[in-house]
Chain A
Amino acid sequence: MKISIGDVVLPGDYCEEISQVAEKSKVIIGPGLRKEVDRVYITKPGVLKKRNPSTFWVDSYQKRYVPSRGENVIGVVVQKAGDIFRVEVGGSITAALSYLSFEGATKKNRPEVQVGDVVYAKMLVASKDMEPELVCVDSHGKKGRLGVLSDGFVFKCSLNLIRKILNPNCPLLESLKNEWPFEVAAGMNGRIWIKANSMRETIAVGNAILGAEYLNDEEIRSMCNNIAAILAGHVS
């Protein structure tokens, strides 16, 4: 059976369309695909997707995070060791976050990070042969959106749910953003941090996110309206 873009694919299938495109121009093979001798094979079950021009990947269900460079992740500081913090991100080993990778940090001026803090950091170095390294500062030395996350509530979900809610077309955050003030940070390692003014609101946002995993856009909107109505009913 010929594989085409948008199909549900299983490991072992190969896609000829990608090989045909690659004969003429450069092709980016994303996660879930692998190039063997002369064909491109699928290695994860999911939906084969394409982005113009010539970027292909498989959208699969996954809960285990594999550290990858350039991704923003939420980690928990587990140890202070010499010049680095050991941060647990859900990978096979803990990641290293240097003291100097914070805005305005110098050797004399150490950042205020304790064991047990939640940090939102970017993966600087990540390969399967080395321990991953994180930074809380961008290439200009600015903090941006990275750094320590204080208060709030962290929970885990699957990686594809994170990608679903961070999609610009997803109606979840659009529906919730006008209801009550809250702040959310989503790490690509399957962890979400939420902070709102009361416990009810925090849990409401958390339930909305977890419930949106298997719903389509219309159902997400109606679910958010239900949750907002229930909460408004409770408060008033």
Chain B
Amino acid sequence: MASRKKPQLPKSVLDMKFMKKTKDRIEKEIENTQDIEGLYSNVITNEMRHASGNYISESSFVYCEDLLEGRLSFKGMNPEIERLMALECKKDDDDKSEMKKDVSDDILSKKMESFKKRKWSSSPSECKIKKRKNK
């Protein structure tokens, strides 16, 4: 077949009375194919079609900006609040400081270098294979 689409009847033919049933059938088909989106438009809104789960709405500034705790005391006005402030400061510092090492970095690098030198100083051709006493 030359064309894929069904040959559409001209409008004048469809207007004739004996073609009424065919005309109704064709109109119903068009409505079904084109108007599906409009069908439940008040339930499935246009917004729901475009919704993406990647947006999180946040209405508070607390989670956006990095703010201090709201209550502060200075120079010993309220010892309890100052104690809490010191605890928080200490916790921040602890997070930032590095872990203590048993063997420090430079000692480790020196030892590793000397170890590697010892290992590769004797090349395979020089390796002496021990002769067995009892052969």
Contact = CB atoms under 8 A, between A and B. Distances in A.
A188 interface: yes
B76 interface: yes
B64 to A, nearest CB: 4
Interface stretch (B10-18, B65-73, B93-101): B65-73
Contact residues of B: prevailing secondary structure: loop
Contacts of A36: 47
Contact of B77 (A27, A31, A40, A195): A195
A115 B7 CA distance: 85
Contact of B57 (A23, A35, A176): A35
A181 B71 contact: no
A186 B70 contact: yes
Contacts of B62: 68, 70-71, 188
B54 interface: yes
Contacts of A71: 60-62
B84 A70 contact: no
Given A57-B64, A145-B81, A187-B70, 18 more contacts: A22-B52, A23-B54, A26-B56, A30-B58, A35-B57, A40-B55, A51-B66, A55-B58, A57-B61, A66-B59, A145-B69, A168-B67, A173-B72, A173-B74, A177-B75, A183-B71, A183-B72, A184-B72
B41 interface: no
B69 A177 contact: no
A82 interface: no
Interface residues of A, number: 48
B58 A167 contact: no
A69 B70 contact: no
Contacts of B61: 30-31, 57, 68, 71, 163, 188
A178 interface: yes
Given A37-B46, A51-B65, A144-B84, A22 B70 contact: no
A27 B75 CA distance: 42
A103 to B, nearest CB: 12
Nearest to A66: B59
